[in-house]
Structure 1
């Protein structure tokens, strides 16, 4: 159920719009919505509904309208939404979640937008806020002075948002957009000097200085004719800045940089009045004044101040627990998976993550990308680091599997953003519909929080970018089989590469899984198992699972079984995880040409080759072969050890030789219960 004040008064449910009846009944509802969760005296309702002397039966009329509104809301299922219209003596109270009121959502979105500090985020937030307007505010109410004053106050807030949107576009250098946003508002409000000043600057920065100056002279004439006053400081300041800049450039004006360089600074805040908000939970407001002229002297449709965007931006409380502009009170989110079991080694990589993610010298939000082949333990490394350093991020830790290399479709940013916003306390009905607006809201909510974001199993840089927090106190870890060079180029991501385990580390992992005594009794077999598993933690864990299920087997017996290349991939599987399934997900993301190239490379005798050998094996021309090798190396399906020296791991060769990606000859006692099943990815791989 949603309540509309920003246009015709309306109540909408999932089945359509409720019939509210005549203007006075709509006016009663509007007045209650302007002061939600606050008792409204019957006398105030009467004074607002009748401009002249009210009739003798006015009390009965109002009581009848309230009764009908109560029945209408009940028929629309109000109780399910926590909505109740009650009588308190000679006053009425409409109790409801304030986020159901469009004017309240508008105020919160505007409050979160920071046109100068974060213009790229402010643009979608302000556009979504202005998109809530469906016409003049409070349309359909009576034409008494209290409602006119309340409608005027709401319109002032809309114009303030329009000015802010213009400034945000200007800060991004999008001066044509700024001019388009401000123009229609300026036409309809020709005496609003801040609006005209912003339009003048936008026009000037697009090279339309004559139009900009004409707006000044037109407004000056109107101010003199209608109000008998001269232009104020803001309008006069914009005019003088344009004249100075024009003189400095000989009258030739090009499009201006975003932040008003060369003597033309960006426009400042609009200076519009703030509004008092009463919270449903009874929290007192921190700042703001009452809206003069509104019914009853107050307006509670503006954005909340206490425990909302201010707290979110200044780090009070404990993250989501301190409340946000669109959030519920609650604990800071702790979404990390449990720590990886039997995690060993990787000290160098953990240290590299620490250096990358604790570097505050740039004042930017640090970003690290853990990359490596399937099964190497990227997720485990990232999650282990996150748990070790969780205390440095008291406002919460977020985690999401982006499913870039998994069964089914990859996760869409809008899906992940919704989960993040809900975890941060945003009510479901207040999560923006568009991914762009949801991304902007996410960045605004965490701008000053100490928050860690772990984005696992990413397919591309484009999938990751909308999910990155912007605050300097946040940090992000991404894992991927792809190098994600785009994030390195555009977001200064620090890559942290993971490689296969050596003999000592691999044997230690087997010992941690099986017990050190079992490994110590046959160290040569343990060493061979590490080689047969290509040193990949996922493969070693699958091998350990086979041995755990067969406590009488010595390590040498499993090593002998794994020497049979027809059975190796099947043996290196354990229920829903295994190397064949993990590799299948990587190969599934290749183009047909690159998949054929990989199959050709698998025919290499020792897994070492150069571009010429690869071209001969694949039957491709040199340029096509080189491009394909580069893409395979980016996906860590081959490794470029040196210039024009490529290697392909044994397990990848075995998988690629079968174009269906299935091991041949799975039979045999050692493979029982170890048949490959799809669905493994970096989550199971990473426990090593």
Structure 2
């Protein structure tokens, strides 16, 4: 059995493809393939198929789709690869049966070959990896937020592999191929400085000096317009070398790793209880508050001293590994005697932590908000805004599009004695 997700969802065996049935049935299969050979909770499958507002018949319909999937994959007879388990369902998948795994292995092999100075082997591995892509990930399916985040991570790895492939092609003196691939990449992902770098390098080493300089001009134009930042040192160094006609090595200087801030304060020792509140915070990881591509925002409200901060920090440390691009934290001091921390000051700290030099940080709150949102657009970051005075205080610090998650703690005059998280619509969106 072979499961292909790097394009329209397909399942085949011995060269023959299975008919997978209606869209909901294919979504069920995709959700099971996201966690192969693991139990996927019924609740997670329900969200994958119907979102946050499932019909009353969702449980019965889910069982119907499971039966249909077993029949489809069994070629008319029930297939035992889809198993009912306590709390959910499991899809048995052997190593190498998902094209996702083959892609990951080959892309990693190509990167290793580049590191070891073997561009010919890198070309082979990366050509195999990228050849598995037949279109957009799970193309044609209405993806749940969890599947959409998975798609985003795999698309990012795809573009990284494309840049690695261009580097290997240039090293093998196959510059026209590298240029063609990088032109396509910058067209779809114009903020990728690595793609611009390899485009410039391929053009220059292929003899098109004017084209390389024009590529730098276009890169600078789009980066300044979209992020307010000048190109990074690698692009600028290559630009100077081209202007001065210096020899340029076939292998580009690797781009620096983006800073991954770790700003969460120490968690309170001996924290116990609050299971319901922690579960409510966990729900913020499942879906965005405003639709696909929108950051999830949760507010934790309560009176002073009920443990809002302790709750949020305990939860944040427990899920920190799910935010590979870092965690940001600020105490907004909403009701301090000295007055609240201005949003502009909090933004300056966040932007610096994300790698922008002080000299390049704009002065106004609105401009800083725009830059902050641009920096988070392609990252998955946990943002903890502690002790916000009100929605106006927190709003400039909220990301826009992307996969980030925000938790805001807010003081209220309610008589309840415990902090309680709530998913926000207005006013925090």
Q: What's the counterpart of residue 268 of structure 1? A: 254
Q: Does 1:229 pair with 2:228?
A: yes
Write the distance in 2 (CA, Å) between the matches of 1:44 and 1:186. Answer: 36
Write the distance in 2 (CA, Å) between the matches of 1:268 and 1:183. Answer: 19
Write the distance in 2 (CA, Å) between the matches of 1:22 and 1:136. Answer: 19
Q: What's the counterpart of residue 162 of structure 1? A: 162
Counting only pairs closer than 5 Å after superposition, residues 13-32 of structure 1 correspond to structure 2 as: 13-14=13-14, 16-32=16-32
TM-score, with normalisation over the residues of structure 2? 0.56
Q: Secondary structure at the match of 2:136?
A: coil
* Aligned with residue 92 of structure 1, among 85, 89, 103: 89
Write the distance in 1 (CA, Å) between the matches of 2:158 and 2:92. Answer: 26
Write the distance in 2 (CA, Å) between the matches of 1:150 and 1:205. Answer: 36
Give, in angstroms, the shift of residue 17 of structure 1.
1.4
Q: Secondary structure at the match of 1:99?
A: coil
Q: What's the counterpart of residue 177 of structure 2? A: 177
Give, in angstroms, the shift of residue 15 of structure 1.
5.5
**Change over 3 Å in CA distance of 1:146–1:128 after alignment to 2:** same
**Change over 3 Å in CA distance of 1:149–1:171 after alignment to 2:** same
Q: What's the counterpart of residue 137 of structure 2? A: 137
Q: Secondary structure at the match of 1:222?
A: helix
Q: What's the counterpart of residue 258 of structure 1? A: 250
Counting only pairs closer than 5 Å after superposition, residues 553-568 of structure 1 correspond to structure 2 as: none
- 8 A Cα contact 2:193 2:235, kept in partner: no
Q: Secondary structure at the match of 2:114?
A: coil
**Change over 3 Å in CA distance of 1:104–1:69 after alignment to 2:** same
Which protein has greater RCO, CA pairs closer than 8 Å, 6+ apart? 2
Write the distance in 1 (CA, Å) between the matches of 2:154 and 2:258. Answer: 11
**Change over 3 Å in CA distance of 1:133–1:151 after alignment to 2:** same
**Change over 3 Å in CA distance of 1:56–1:216 after alignment to 2:** farther
Write the distance in 2 (CA, Å) between the matches of 1:202 and 1:184. Answer: 14
Q: What's the counterpart of residue 204 of structure 1? A: 204
Q: What's the counterpart of residue 106 of structure 1? A: 103
**Change over 3 Å in CA distance of 1:168–1:37 after alignment to 2:** same
Q: Secondary structure at the match of 1:3?
A: strand
Write the distance in 2 (CA, Å) between the matches of 1:104 and 1:24. Answer: 24
Give, in angstroms, the shift of residue 161 of structure 1.
0.9
Counting only pairs closer than 5 Å after superposition, residues 97-496 of structure 1 correspond to structure 2 as: 97-113=94-110, 114-117=113-116, 118-225=118-225, 227-233=226-232, 236-248=233-245, 258-259=250-251, 266-268=252-254
**Change over 3 Å in CA distance of 1:258–1:218 after alignment to 2:** closer
Q: Secondary structure at the match of 2:11?
A: strand
Write the distance in 2 (CA, Å) between the matches of 1:142 and 1:115. Answer: 37
**Change over 3 Å in CA distance of 1:190–1:120 after alignment to 2:** same
Q: What's the counterpart of residue 469 of structure 1? A: none
Write the distance in 1 (CA, Å) between the matches of 2:185 and 2:193. Answer: 12
Q: What's the counterpart of residue 398 of structure 1? A: none
Give, in angstroms, the shift of residue 91 of structure 1.
1.0
Q: What's the counterpart of residue 372 of structure 2? A: none
Write the distance in 2 (CA, Å) between the matches of 1:213 and 1:130. Answer: 28
Give, in angstroms, the shift of residue 293 of structure 1.
7.2
Write the distance in 1 (CA, Å) between the matches of 2:320 and 2:42. Answer: 16
Write the distance in 2 (CA, Å) between the matches of 1:49 and 1:30. Answer: 10
**Change over 3 Å in CA distance of 1:153–1:24 after alignment to 2:** same
Give, in angstroms, the shift of residue 198 of structure 1.
1.7
Write the distance in 1 (CA, Å) between the matches of 2:29 and 2:13. Answer: 16
**Change over 3 Å in CA distance of 1:25–1:270 after alignment to 2:** farther
Give, in angstroms, the shift of residue 108 of structure 1.
0.8
Write the distance in 2 (CA, Å) between the matches of 1:91 and 1:232. Answer: 49
Counting only pairs closer than 5 Å after superposition, residues 443-592 of structure 1 correspond to structure 2 as: none
- 8 A Cα contact 2:234 2:253, kept in partner: no
Report the number of matched residues.
264
Give, in angstroms, the shift of residue 270 of structure 1.
8.1
- 8 A Cα contact 1:130 1:158, kept in partner: yes
Residues 308-349 of structure 1 show CA distances to partners (whole Å, capped at 9, x for unaligned) of xxxxxxxxxxxxxxxxxxxxxxxxxxxxxxxxxxxxxxxxxx
- 8 A Cα contact 2:196 2:215, kept in partner: yes
**Cα RMSD (Å) of the superposition?**
3.1
Residues 338-391 of structure 1 show CA distances to partners (whole Å, capped at 9, x for unaligned) of xxxxxxxxxxxxxxxxxxxxxxxxxxxxxxxxxxxxxxxxxxxxxxxxxxxxxx
**Change over 3 Å in CA distance of 1:269–1:170 after alignment to 2:** farther
Write the distance in 2 (CA, Å) between the matches of 1:112 and 1:68. Answer: 38
**Change over 3 Å in CA distance of 1:103–1:128 after alignment to 2:** same
Residues 230-249 of structure 1 show CA distances to partners (whole Å, capped at 9, x for unaligned) of 1452xx42233222342255
**Change over 3 Å in CA distance of 1:248–1:185 after alignment to 2:** closer
Write the distance in 2 (CA, Å) between the matches of 1:12 and 1:271. Answer: 39
**Change over 3 Å in CA distance of 1:193–1:166 after alignment to 2:** same
Q: Secondary structure at the match of 2:244?
A: helix
TM-score, with normalisation over the residues of structure 1? 0.36
Q: Secondary structure at the match of 1:115?
A: helix
- 8 A Cα contact 2:234 2:255, kept in partner: no
Q: What's the counterpart of residue 370 of structure 2? A: none
Give, in angstroms, the shift of residue 140 of structure 1.
2.8
**Change over 3 Å in CA distance of 1:157–1:29 after alignment to 2:** same
- 8 A Cα contact 2:39 2:90, kept in partner: yes
Over alpha carbons, which structure has the higher Rg? 1
Unaligned runs of 5+ in 2: 260-283, 289-318, 322-429
Q: What's the counterpart of residue 63 of structure 2? A: 63
